[in-house]
Structure 1
Amino acid sequence: MTTPTEQAVKASNVKEVLAYLVQRFPACFSANGAARPLKIGIFQDLAERLQDDSVVSKTQLRQALRVYTSSWRYLEATQEGAARIDLDGNAGDLIDAAQAEHAAKTLEESKAKAAEKRKAKIAEAKASVTTKAAVAKPAYKKNPNKKANIPSKGTKVNQKAETAAAAPAQPARALTPVASGTVVVGASVLLKLGQNPMPATVLEISKDDVTVQLGSGMVIKTRQDSLYQA
């Protein structure tokens, strides 16, 4: 394990501070998986243990603790009857009903805010796609009324035959499937409907399902394996 002396570089952000705390106090802090409620007043214990440490400051410790204790996995672990732990992992006071209720309410509000942000992001992406489609669509120009020269029936048949004979067969375009896990909101892709691939923009991703919007404005829900590189 790296010692404070060997750790020469000072932590520059909250992520690095949390990683350092997990390294120094593995019985107390965790980087993933289930978290454990922390002892009340643990900041003072940290400040005392790390008073000669050059990697983190007290301000950084406060910020890191605020982020750690407001994470969803920490709030989910703050259940009534769960024991709070100190820096060495020793169990102490138990979470009471009021503390558990406060944690559950904070978790619910945090998830609601995240959902609102996600909705706003999707709405913004849809608005952007609609605006682009409106700009790309050419304005309809009405042709002036004038009498066209109508060819005879025989002429039409001959012209069609000549056109069909002159037009060479076009080879089908080779499509490259979009690699799994690379689809992101706002990306331009091709969606194969029938025989012809159509350009589309990704609006929402839910596991293997993807919601896209065509250039016409139509929104379609499909699967990622139906998408191809634009």
Structure 2
Amino acid sequence: MLKRLQAESAAFRDCKPLALKIDASILERFPEFDRKSLRTALRIHTASTRYLKAVERSAERFDLDGKPVGEVTAEQRTHATTTLKERFAAVARQQREQREAEEAERRRDEKLRQLVNKFGR
């Protein structure tokens, strides 16, 4: 569904901030789409890092044809910025924890090797 929207819609292809209530326009243009599946697809699209960065930088929202139809409010830009910061912080925290776990494993292996060398004679 998202691939088709990207192929046939400038707003999706260029990952521009979407007009509010765009789901009605999509269902009008693509009546074969299921409403529930569309909402899931929109959630995936609008939660993507690329989309959030676009909302963070843009002042306008766009319809399916890529024409401006509204504005991105300061509150919406702030929400996108906050979400991105939290996402990046979580990734950094996971990477740090992974490095710490690998370092602890390396130290444990080194200690075991030293004990084997000392008492394995």
Aligned residue identity for 2:119 = K
Larger relative contact order, structure 1 or 2 (CA cutoff 8 Å, min sep 6)? 2
Deviation at 1:79, TM superposition (A): 4.1
CA contact (8 A) 2:15 2:54 kept: yes
Give the TM-score, by structure 2 length. 0.76
2:99 corresponds to 1:119: no
Deviation at 1:64, TM superposition (A): 2.3
- Secondary structure of the corresponding residue to residue 119 of structure 2: coil
Deviation at 1:65, TM superposition (A): 1.6
User: Normalized per residue, which structure has more strand?
Assistant: 1
- Secondary structure of the corresponding residue to residue 40 of structure 1: coil
2:86 corresponds to 1:106: no
Q: Write the distance in 1 (CA, Å) between the matches of 2:20 and 2:82.
A: 19
Alignment of 1:1-230 (within 5 A): 17-25=1-9, 27-30=10-13, 35-53=15-33, 57-79=34-56, 82-137=59-114, 138-141=116-119
Deviations 1:30-88 (A, max 9, x none): 3xxx63110001122223322225xxx43332222222212222222224762111111
Structure 2 unaligned runs (5+)? none
CA contact (8 A) 1:84 1:92 kept: yes
Aligned residue identity for 1:21 = L
Give the TM-score, by structure 1 length. 0.44
- Secondary structure of the corresponding residue to residue 97 of structure 2: helix
Q: Write the distance in 1 (CA, Å) between the matches of 2:7 and 2:119.
A: 69
Q: Write the distance in 2 (CA, Å) between the matches of 1:102 and 1:73.
A: 14
Q: Write the distance in 2 (CA, Å) between the matches of 1:69 and 1:46.
A: 15
Deviations 1:99-150 (A, max 9, x none): 222221222112111211222222233233334444445152397xxxxxxx
Residues 97/74 of structure 1: CA separation in 2 closer, same or farther (3 Å cut): same
Q: Write the distance in 1 (CA, Å) between the matches of 2:42 and 2:22.
A: 9
Aligned residue identity for 1:115 = A
CA contact (8 A) 1:80 1:95 kept: no
Q: Write the distance in 2 (CA, Å) between the matches of 1:109 and 1:118.
A: 14
Q: Write the distance in 2 (CA, Å) between the matches of 1:142 and 1:120.
A: 33
Deviation at 1:29, TM superposition (A): 0.9
Q: Write the distance in 1 (CA, Å) between the matches of 2:19 and 2:53.
A: 16
Count of aligned positions:
120
Q: Which residue number in structure 2 is paired with residue 7 of structure 1?
A: none
Identical-residue share of aligned pairs (%): 30
Q: Which residue number in structure 2 is paired with residue 158 of structure 1?
A: none
Structure 1 unaligned runs (5+)? 1-16, 144-230
